[in-house]
Chain A
Amino acid sequence: MNPSNPPQAAEYGGDEVSAIVLDPGYSTTRAGFAGEDAPKSVIPTYYGKYNYEGKERLVFGDNMFVQPRAGISVHNPIGKDGIVEDWDMAEKVWEYSFASRLTATKPDNPFHNGLNDISSEELPAEMEVETDEKPLADTPLLMSEPGWNPAKAREKTIEIAMEKWGTPAFYLARNGVLAAFASGKASALVIDIGASNISVTPVHDGMILKRGVQHSPLGGDYISSQIRALFKKNSPQPITITPHYLISSKTAVEAGQPPQANYRTFPADRAPDASYRALQEERTLAEFKECVVQTWPGPNKLSGPGPRESQTKNSLAARRAVFGVDRFRVVESLFDVKAAIPDPDSPVPAPTQAQTLPEVIKASLAGVDVDIRPHLLSNVVVTGASSLVYGFTERLNQELMTLFPGPRVRVSAPGNTSERRFGSWIGGSILASLGTFHQMWISKKEYEEHGANIVEKRCK
């Protein structure tokens, strides 16, 4: 399209209307209006399912962490590799992310009035009745996707946006590109440490270099599995994790002592599913990651034994435990596969050397033209919530220096927690509020003319 011709207002919805930026991730889904500095709505991508009064009901949002439902089980529409598996549910979760806080179309619609518990059978029928009341009827939508999203999934995404939500204009952007924009770079090597994946995306002039996109499953959830393995082999007895919802009160104990707490019990027919407990345990582990886990600063590998410093931790089922050097070890296997704590029972397979971060970065750069490698290495952008593990960026810097001793390596990671967590959303917010971006939107008319395939041609 010729950029000198201003697009027609009807094509993109006009610049009076703020677009909605939707950044779906494996762990959380972020949504908000373009132009703002942080997403207004951040909800877990997990959703709950339970039966009540003979009907299956769904619950979205973070309320399920606070108020458990009887017999609730937790599911995620997105697969471990970051690609959507359950499209019906993904659509509902995404819709909830903007309808609950941002748009709220019809106050009386039970889906949007926030009563939150909808039976999954009732919903589709209702949606059919309100064919003209689409949630995004007058708001353009910018969505993000992982760099390795297959063409089928991209087409399905635009189909949902156009047909189910009725958006007048749509664009699908790679989250690596957006994260680069968020730190003000058009070319960068984006290292995204997410919950289920770590990914390395080379971005050049606002385009991803597809051959260089690499990802591996050693994300935040992998760190959690390492922590679990660590707890398991704790002596004298293994540490069990009890999430907060099972504790009604606790008494402080000395480190290493058995916990003293009153636990809640549920009757068997009302007890939440194991998946719910696992998710709640993740929350406790997240606290553990925040205050105990540390990345070994290097430069030499973490190998020497001997306690260095000690930390205490209290919120594991009212337990207080001391962790020495182990708190470095749980993250270490992101860099050095030999440091992984073996746990044969874990559902997470043991990592291979090729999955470690240095190897992934190497593989990524190997897929990129040699001329631009130095440029990328001097613009390394770190994003993703799991990169907030203490000392992570320093270690990464260290590793990059070792791997690429020649060129200048510069790692830029925003110090602000929210900018690190919502990097790709913020990039989307910047992009969608730019005046010149308006020519990029895929309008409804174009979609109707060319079909879902247009997303492959336009959103490169």
Chain B
Amino acid sequence: MPLTRQQASRNQRGRARAQETRDQLQPAKKSRGLVPGERKFARRNPPLPLDHFLYPGREAHPMAPFRDEHLVLIAPGSELTLAQLGLPEAYCPAKLRLQTRMFPAEKPGEYEPHRIRKVTTTSTSTTAPTTTPGASGQPPKEDVEMKDDGASAPREETAEGTEKAETEPEPAQEVIYEEDVMSDEGAVYPIRDGRIVNRNALFALIQHVYNLLSPPLHTPILIVAQPSWTQTDREEITRFVFEHFSTPGFAYVDAALATAWGYGVLNALVIDVGKTKTDVSAVINSVPQRYGRGIALSGCGGDAMTDRLLELLGSKGFTREMCEQLKRSDIAEILPPGTALPGAAATAHQSTPAVHPGESAGGNFAPTEGASDNNGTDEGVLDVAAIVSGDTSEYLANMEKDKSTGKKVDPKQPNAQKERASFQFEEFVEMENDAQAGGSKRYKRNTREITVGVERFLAATPRQRAGPLLSNGILEDIASQVQYAINCCPNDKRNELWSNIIIVGAGSRVRGFNQALLGAITQKFLNSPSASIFTSEIPSTFSTPLPTGGTNTPAQMGPGQAQPSLQHHPAAHGLNPLLVAATHNNPGIPAAPGTPGMDQGQQHRAGHFQGPTVIKATKFPEYNSEFKGRPNSNAPGASSGPGSTSRGGHGPEEAAFLGAQVCAKIFFVIDQGQLKTFMARSEYNEFGPEGMGEFCIA
């Protein structure tokens, strides 16, 4: 638009008008709190001042305060959904763990938590499998306990299906609806690769979880949101929660943020290794960074390692299930890059025939003698009815005991030096010859020992058939993403991120994974502090202050918890201590004689960054003793479904759930909505689900 003289003369008038318009806008903005942008813009500084949480003296939310025991946490993942009602005294791993899957119900669009099979029978007997003690009432507590075993033990579950069966005890041609808790046939998986692919099924799952927890009315809900969820997904879940439950408050927390808080840090690079994907997120001042965030890096999860093992061992007669259990077992290990494989196989590992399935010559994987002796038929048979009648945990505990006593461990040699090792492979086999009325199934548990060679160290090596991806193994892919994510962050924060790497997720449970990943990142990106006198870079730790004892960390908010010890451990996690020492000593190196002008030029460039000189992992705070246990066991349940829940302790890989507990405490109990960390029902009524974006901090 060419400038006319008239316009130029309107200059003054125009400016006045602009001012006028602005003045008009101001009151308009205030009166209409509805403009979605306005308040968001007011929060121009995303870093959440955590100190505010410590001063709850301000105007509280006009509703009765929430209590610790009345909080519902739900963390849906691609594979497992973790949930819990109430915060325990010391934060602990999730009490309720379910597979994230639903089954289509009879009516299209509805879902059941278990597969319902229609059995037409002429038998007159009452339905044997459905006469459960818990069938009449609400899901009792023990039901929740049983969830710990996930699908590892066949069990009966109270649901509509059984009740239908109970009401029809008529003889002749009756239709029995039977729940098959073992089967995953026809299952619908609401979340795949972290993305919500079937919203209705996810809603059904949330409903199911909610029913299992059966919380009281005044119960706020916190959902751990995966990074892959879009704004629309979040809004739809908000709508569902408010319209189906009587919840007075609802909040999201980003999984990466929850993890960082679980570790008690505000700045971290969170690597979440899941089933089929990995998320890499940089968290700065408790805000997950959007740019360069590695969302659902495909082919970088636990499944990729299983697939790689299958690729290596498939020709040796291994099934996928065997590889899965091998991956979970103690003998599978990922060695740090550069480590030689044990034995002569180190040079030609790809071609080494290394599998020696038992001693039996004929059968491929016939149970070895020892195995069949120890776990003979008597405890190898799981009786569904026996379990249903209530003594599940005892029953399984006995079996576990038997199993563990049968293990022979060589204490001398570390696994990484053994050329061969064996693990117990366990599977359930349905017994054919059993003809109990009502269709109850009996399962035989077979245990056998399988010996594997050095292939067990190669789970993270690049796959042969990687599709179009030019992958160099999952470790390098993740390492690239880590570098990309950090390089998208502001300059002055990068060093802090490089030295605060957190690796979580079930995929990281594979033995040695964390060290190997750190090693891969280090060897690809570390700029070691050179002794070169020309080095003008300020040592990286210079701009990375040590955390100050945790006075403003969320972790401190936990009830009855000791002061977190957040000191850095310079030599943590396989990093060369000499390297660290060299970094710290850097200031002591005398400046080059010929560059006296250096100081002036360099001083203001201290924030400039030349790649990491320190790469290390954040140490998991020790006071979370409940999250200690980290046994790698290929639980027998592993064979009953794709990667079922394993019994035993859950370690720092579930830090996201720990962080979710911290968040719930802060959001609902301590802060009580002053910082709009959650959406209250009155606010939902006012703004609708679209307003949710303003009620979560990340």
Interface residues of A (CB under 8 A from B): 15-18, 33-42, 50, 52, 57, 62-63, 65-70, 100-105, 107-108, 113-114, 116-117, 186-187, 204-212, 244-245, 247-250, 252, 254-255, 264, 266, 270, 272, 283, 286-287, 290-292, 308-315, 320, 322, 368-369, 371-372, 375, 390, 417-418, 429-430, 432-436, 460
B162 to chain A, nearest CB (A): 32
Contact assessment for A430 and B41 in the assembled complex, using a CB-CB cutoff below 8 Å: yes
Contact assessment for B40 and A37 in the assembled complex, using a CB-CB cutoff below 8 Å: yes
A311 to B608, CA, bound (A): 11
Contact assessment for A52 and B468 in the assembled complex, using a CB-CB cutoff below 8 Å: yes
A21 to B303, CA, bound (A): 38
A42 to B292, CA, bound (A): 8
Q: Does B228 contact A (CB under 8 A)?
A: yes
Name the A residues within 8 Å of B3 (CB-CB).
204, 209, 211-212, 368-369, 372
A401 to B316, CA, bound (A): 77
Contact assessment for B527 and A67 in the assembled complex, using a CB-CB cutoff below 8 Å: no
Contact assessment for A62 and B477 in the assembled complex, using a CB-CB cutoff below 8 Å: no
Name the B residues within 8 Å of A287 (CB-CB).
487, 611
Contact assessment for B610 and A313 in the assembled complex, using a CB-CB cutoff below 8 Å: yes
Contact assessment for A205 and B15 in the assembled complex, using a CB-CB cutoff below 8 Å: yes
Q: Does B112 contact A (CB under 8 A)?
A: no
A42 to B38, CA, bound (A): 22
Name the A residues within 8 Å of B487 (CB-CB).
283, 286-287
Name the B residues within 8 Å of A187 (CB-CB).
15
Contact assessment for B297 and A436 in the assembled complex, using a CB-CB cutoff below 8 Å: no
Beta-carbon nearest neighbor of A322 in chain B: B534
Name the B residues within 8 Å of A434 (CB-CB).
25
Give the contacting residue for B40; candidates A15, A35, A50, A57; CB below 8 A: A35
Give the contacting residue for B527; candidates A116, A252, A270, A435; CB below 8 A: A252
Q: Per-residue CB proximity of B577-601 to A under 8 Å, as 1/0? A: 0000000000000000001011001
Contact assessment for B524 and A36 in the assembled complex, using a CB-CB cutoff below 8 Å: no
In the complex, besides A62-B292, A114-B228, 18 extra interface pairs with C-beta distance below 8 angstroms are: A16-B36, A16-B688, A37-B41, A57-B468, A62-B484, A63-B297, A101-B231, A101-B290, A116-B298, A205-B17, A205-B18, A245-B480, A249-B338, A252-B530, A312-B534, A313-B610, A390-B605, A434-B25
Contact assessment for B472 and A435 in the assembled complex, using a CB-CB cutoff below 8 Å: no
Name the B residues within 8 Å of A70 (CB-CB).
468-470
Contact assessment for B601 and A252 in the assembled complex, using a CB-CB cutoff below 8 Å: no
Q: Does B230 contact A (CB under 8 A)?
A: yes
A165 to chain B, nearest CB (A): 15
A101 to B301, CA, bound (A): 22
Contact assessment for A290 and B230 in the assembled complex, using a CB-CB cutoff below 8 Å: no
A435 to B30, CA, bound (A): 11
Name the B residues within 8 Å of A264 (CB-CB).
472
Contact assessment for A67 and B232 in the assembled complex, using a CB-CB cutoff below 8 Å: no
A312 to B537, CA, bound (A): 8
Contact assessment for B199 and A107 in the assembled complex, using a CB-CB cutoff below 8 Å: yes
A314 to B28, CA, bound (A): 54
Contact assessment for B470 and A272 in the assembled complex, using a CB-CB cutoff below 8 Å: yes
B686 to chain A, nearest CB (A): 11
A252 to B536, CA, bound (A): 16
Q: Does B32 contact A (CB under 8 A)?
A: yes
Contact assessment for A114 and B37 in the assembled complex, using a CB-CB cutoff below 8 Å: no
Q: Does B350 contact A (CB under 8 A)?
A: no
Name the B residues within 8 Å of A40 (CB-CB).
231, 290
A114 to B491, CA, bound (A): 29
Name the B residues within 8 Å of A208 (CB-CB).
1
Contact assessment for A290 and B595 in the assembled complex, using a CB-CB cutoff below 8 Å: no
Contact assessment for B294 and A312 in the assembled complex, using a CB-CB cutoff below 8 Å: no
Q: List 21 A-B contacts (CB under 8 A).
A: A16-B36, A17-B690, A18-B36, A33-B693, A35-B40, A36-B41, A65-B480, A67-B471, A101-B230, A104-B230, A107-B197, A187-B15, A248-B523, A255-B530, A272-B470, A308-B597, A308-B601, A309-B595, A310-B536, A433-B36, A433-B38
B255 to chain A, nearest CB (A): 16
Name the B residues within 8 Å of A244 (CB-CB).
480, 483, 524-525
Q: Which of B8, B36, B523 has the most CB of A within 10 A?
A: B36
Name the B residues within 8 Å of A211 (CB-CB).
2-3
Contact assessment for A320 and B532 in the assembled complex, using a CB-CB cutoff below 8 Å: yes
A116 to B40, CA, bound (A): 30
A166 to B36, CA, bound (A): 22
A249 to B479, CA, bound (A): 11
A116 to B46, CA, bound (A): 30
A68 to B693, CA, bound (A): 34
Interface residues of B (CB under 8 A from A): 1-3, 5, 7-8, 10-11, 14-15, 17-18, 21, 24-25, 28-29, 32, 34-38, 40-41, 43-44, 46, 193, 195-199, 228, 230-233, 290-292, 294-299, 337-338, 467-472, 476-477, 480-481, 483-484, 487, 490-491, 523-528, 530, 532, 534-537, 595, 597-598, 601-602, 605, 608-611, 688, 690, 693
B15 to chain A, nearest CB (A): 7
A299 to B230, CA, bound (A): 50
B614 to chain A, nearest CB (A): 13
A377 to B297, CA, bound (A): 48
Contact assessment for A312 and B228 in the assembled complex, using a CB-CB cutoff below 8 Å: no
Name the B residues within 8 Å of A17 (CB-CB).
36, 690
Contact assessment for A312 and B480 in the assembled complex, using a CB-CB cutoff below 8 Å: no
Contact assessment for A15 and B41 in the assembled complex, using a CB-CB cutoff below 8 Å: no
Give the contacting residue for A309; candidates B35, B523, B601; CB below 8 A: B601
A410 to B8, CA, bound (A): 21
Name the A residues within 8 Å of B523 (CB-CB).
248-250
Contact assessment for B536 and A65 in the assembled complex, using a CB-CB cutoff below 8 Å: no
A283 to B486, CA, bound (A): 13
Q: Which of B28, B477, B484, B532 has the most CB of A within 10 A?
A: B532
Give the contacting residue for A371; candidates B1, B11, B525, B598; CB below 8 A: B11
Name the B residues within 8 Å of A436 (CB-CB).
21, 24-25, 28
Contact assessment for A255 and B536 in the assembled complex, using a CB-CB cutoff below 8 Å: no
Beta-carbon nearest neighbor of B480 in chain A: A66
Beta-carbon nearest neighbor of B233 in chain A: A104
Name the A residues within 8 Å of B693 (CB-CB).
18, 33, 36
Name the A residues within 8 Å of B471 (CB-CB).
67
Known contacts A211-B3, A248-B472, A252-B527; A107 and B198 CB within 8 A of each other:
yes
A33 to B608, CA, bound (A): 32
Give the contacting residue for A210; candidates B1, B233, B484, B536; CB below 8 A: B1
Known contacts A204-B3, A369-B8, A436-B24; A67 and B469 CB within 8 A of each other:
yes
Known contacts A252-B530, A254-B530; A417 and B15 CB within 8 A of each other:
no
Contact assessment for B231 and A33 in the assembled complex, using a CB-CB cutoff below 8 Å: yes
A70 to B198, CA, bound (A): 31
Contact assessment for A66 and B290 in the assembled complex, using a CB-CB cutoff below 8 Å: no
Q: Which of B40, B43, B490, B597 has the most CB of A within 10 A?
A: B40
Contact assessment for A433 and B608 in the assembled complex, using a CB-CB cutoff below 8 Å: no
Beta-carbon nearest neighbor of A418 in chain B: B490
Name the B residues within 8 Å of A247 (CB-CB).
524
Known contacts A104-B233, A433-B41; A205 and B14 CB within 8 A of each other:
yes
Contact assessment for A375 and B11 in the assembled complex, using a CB-CB cutoff below 8 Å: yes
Beta-carbon nearest neighbor of B484 in chain A: A66
Give the contacting residue for A310; candidates B525, B534, B609; CB below 8 A: B534
A272 to chain B, nearest CB (A): 7
Name the A residues within 8 Å of B28 (CB-CB).
435-436
Contact assessment for A314 and B611 in the assembled complex, using a CB-CB cutoff below 8 Å: yes
Name the B residues within 8 Å of A270 (CB-CB).
470
A417 to B196, CA, bound (A): 33
Beta-carbon nearest neighbor of B528 in chain A: A252
A443 to B635, CA, bound (A): 61
A113 to B196, CA, bound (A): 8
Name the B residues within 8 Å of A66 (CB-CB).
294, 297, 477, 480-481, 484
Beta-carbon nearest neighbor of B610 in chain A: A291
Contact assessment for A290 and B608 in the assembled complex, using a CB-CB cutoff below 8 Å: yes
Beta-carbon nearest neighbor of B477 in chain A: A67
Contact assessment for B231 and A102 in the assembled complex, using a CB-CB cutoff below 8 Å: yes
Beta-carbon nearest neighbor of A50 in chain B: B468
Give the contacting residue for A42; candidates B29, B290, B470, B530; CB below 8 A: B290
Contact assessment for B32 and A435 in the assembled complex, using a CB-CB cutoff below 8 Å: yes
